[in-house]
Amino acid sequence: MTKQGRYKQSGEQSKKHVHVSENGHTGNKSGCPISKKCGGCQYIDKSYAEQLKIKTDQVKKLLAPYGSVDEIIGMKEPYHYRNKVNAAFQHKRNGEILAGVYEEGTHRVLSVDDCKIENRLAQEIVETIRGLLRSFKITVYNEDSGYGLLRHVMIRTGHATGEVMVVLVTASPIFPSKKNFAKALVKAHPQITTIVQNINDKDTSMVLGERNQVLYGRGFIEDKLCGKTFKISPTSFYQVNPVQTELLYNKAMEYANLTGEEVVVDAYCGTGTIGIVASDHAKQVIGVELNKAAAKDAITNVKRNECKNVRIYDGDAGKFMVGMAEAGTDVDVVFLDPPRSGSTPEFFDSVCKLAPKRIVYISCGPESLARDLKYLKSKRMYQVEKIALVDLFPWTEHCETVVLLSQRKADDYVEVELELDELDVTSAESKATYAEIKDYVLKEHGLKVSNLYISQVKRKCGIEVGENYNLPKSEDSRQPQCPEEKEKAIKDALEHFGMI
Ligand SMILES: C[S@@+](CC[C@H](N)C(=O)[O-])C[C@H]1O[C@@H](n2cnc3c(N)ncnc32)[C@H](O)[C@@H]1O
C-alpha cells in the first residue's frame, strides 16, 4: 500500500504553512503533520522547484553515459493529483476507529487531517465510511487476531469523467446490510458511480483479494486520456496522475514519430492506453500485458474506442517478443512501459532480432532504466536520441522518464539474421532457437541434428511447435524418425535451455 496521509480537507489552513519558491510553486515546511511518520512524500519539505531539480540531477547522473536529459516537465498545480486512494482502518483502545495510512514500516494506522496529493473527494468518502462503520456495526479487521470485516477501502476517480469507484475490501464474503451500506454511501456522495466489495480472506499484506462483487453501479469506472476512453477495474493498472500522464503520452507519441504506416508494439500495455492513443497514427498496434484483468480491460478499451487496428495479447512481454522474433514479424516501433523493476535481456534480445526503427522506453524506475540501457548499448544496435522527464509524482522522490532510441546505421553493428527454417510460429513458450539447440547438441554430444528431429522431440516433450510445423504432408508419407541417441541429446539441450 502506498503511504500517503489524508483526510478532512483544510486547504486554507495548510496554505498558512507553505512558502513560495523561486518559480512560484509552493513548498511545504509544516503543512503535513504526519509526513515524517507516513514516509509517502519524501520531498514534502522542499519547494516544488527544488524537487524538480533533485529529480533531474538524479536522472542526469544515472543516464549520463547514454545521452543528455531535456528539461523536466513539471506539474502546474502539483496538488491532489492522485486518482487512487487507499485507506486502512484500525480500532483504538477507546473504541474509536482510525482511518488512514500505515506508519512507514509498520502496520499502525495513522489518521491525518490533510493529504496534499490525494484526490479531495476520495478523502471525504473515506471519512464518511469511517463514520458509517459505527452505525452499521461493521467491525474493522484485526491482522493479529484475524477477526473483523473491513480491511481496506480503495477509491479510484476518473479525472476527466468525474466517475468514482469505491472498493470495500473485506475479510469475508459475508457483509451484513451491504446494499443498505452502499445506499447510505451513495446518498452522502452522489458522485459515486460504482461500489465493489472485494474479498481478501488471505493472510497477506496485499490490499486486494481476487474476488469482486458489485454492490452498486457497473463495477468499474471510465476515464479519458488524450481523447480516448479507458475502462478501469478495481485491480487494473492506471497511472495515478492523469494530468501529467497526458503530457507523458504526448511526449512518447512525439518520440515515436508515427506516420500511419507503422506496425507498433505496446509492451507492458496495462489497459492498452499507449497503444490505443498511438492507434490513430499507426497501421497496426500489438499490445501485450501479463495481468489478466488489465488485458481484459485493454480488449474492452480497444472495442470501446473502435480501434480496428489494435490487438491485445495476455502474457509475459519477454516471452511474447521471443515468439514474435521467431515468427519474423515486421515491427517498426516498440513502446515499452514496464514496472519499476524494468524489462529483461530476453525482451531486448528479441527486440534486436525484430529490429524496429525506434524504441520508446517509458520508465518509472531510473535505476532499472539505466541497467536496461546499458544492456541495449552492449548489443550495439540502438543509440539514445532523446531523454525526457515528466513529473508524475510531485512531493515524492519518484519520476517518469521517456527515452527515444533509434537504430544505428547498418555498418555500425553486426546484424543477427534469422533463417527462415527457424520460423516456428507458436514458439512463444520456447526459450532457445533451433540454431541454438543444434549448436549445443554438436558441442556437448558431437552430434548433428536436423530441424525435423528437434521438432519431433519438442513435440514428444509437449512443447508446442506449430500445428503443421515439420509434420508429414500426407498421412502415408514417410518421414525419418529421430534416432534414440539424438533424441537423448536434444532432450538434454531442451533441459539445458530450461524448456523442459
Ligand atoms: C508501469 S505499468 C504500464 C501500463 C500502461 N503502459 C500504462 O501506461 O498505463 C506496467 C504494466 O506492466 C504489466 N506487467 C508486469 N510484468 C509484466 C510482464 N512480465 N509482461 C507483460 N506485462 C507485465 C503490469 O501488469 C502493468 O500493467
What pLDDT is attached to residue 122?
96
**245: pLDDT strictly greater than 60:** yes
**83: pLDDT strictly greater than 50:** yes
* DSSP-derived pairing of the beta strands 333-336 and 84-91: unpaired
DSSP state of 150: E
Q: Is 41 a catalytic residue?
A: no
Q: At what angle do helices 434-445 and 484-496 cross, to 10 degrees?
A: 110
Establish whether residue 337 lines the binding site of ligand 1, counting it when its CB lies within 6 angstroms of any ligand atom: yes
Confidence class of residue 464 from pLDDT cuts 50, 70 and 90? low
What pLDDT is attached to residue 412?
55
pLDDT tens digits, one per residue of 212-234: 999 999 999 999 999 999 999 99
**What domains does the chain contain, in order, with CATH numbers?**
11-41+84-219 (2.40.50.1070), 234-412 (3.40.50.150), 429-496 (no CATH)
Cα pseudo-dihedral 78, 112, 166, 154, rounded to 10:
80
Residue matched to cell numbers 495510512: 101
**22: pLDDT strictly greater than 60:** no
pLDDT, mean of residues 444-449: 88
Q: 23 CA to middle of ligand 1, Å? A: 35
Ligand 1 atom, smallest distance to 291 CA: 25
Q: At what angle do helices 48-63 and 366-378 cross, to 10 degrees?
A: 20
Q: 268 CA to middle of ligand 1, Å? A: 4
The cell numbers describing 460, all together, are 514428444
pLDDT tens digits, one per residue of 301-328: 999 999 999 999 999 999 999 999 999 9
List of residues 6+ apart from 74 with CB closer than 8 A: 25, 48, 52, 391, 394
Q: 169 CA to middle of ligand 1, Å? A: 23
List of residues 6+ apart from 265 with CB closer than 8 A: 285, 286, 287, 288, 321, 324, 331, 333, 334, 335, 336, 356
With 0-12 / 13-18 / 19 or more C-beta atoms within 10 angstroms meaning exposed / middle / buried, residue 362 is buried
Establish whether residue 339 lines the binding site of ligand 1, counting it when its CB lies within 6 angstroms of any ligand atom: yes
**Beta carbons of 408 and 376 less than 8 angstroms apart:** no
The cell numbers describing 435, all together, are 540454431
Establish whether residue 214 lines the binding site of ligand 1, counting it when its CB lies within 6 angstroms of any ligand atom: no
Q: In testing the pocket of ligand 1, which one of 244, 290, 344, 392 has its CB within 8 Å of the most ligand atoms?
A: 290
pLDDT tens digits, one per residue of 274-300: 999 999 999 999 999 999 988 999 999
Q: For the chain, what is the largest distance between any 2 Cα atoms, rounded to a whole number of angstroms?
A: 88
List of residues 6+ apart from 418 with CB closer than 8 A: 325, 326, 328, 353, 433
Distance CA 220, CA 123 (A): 19
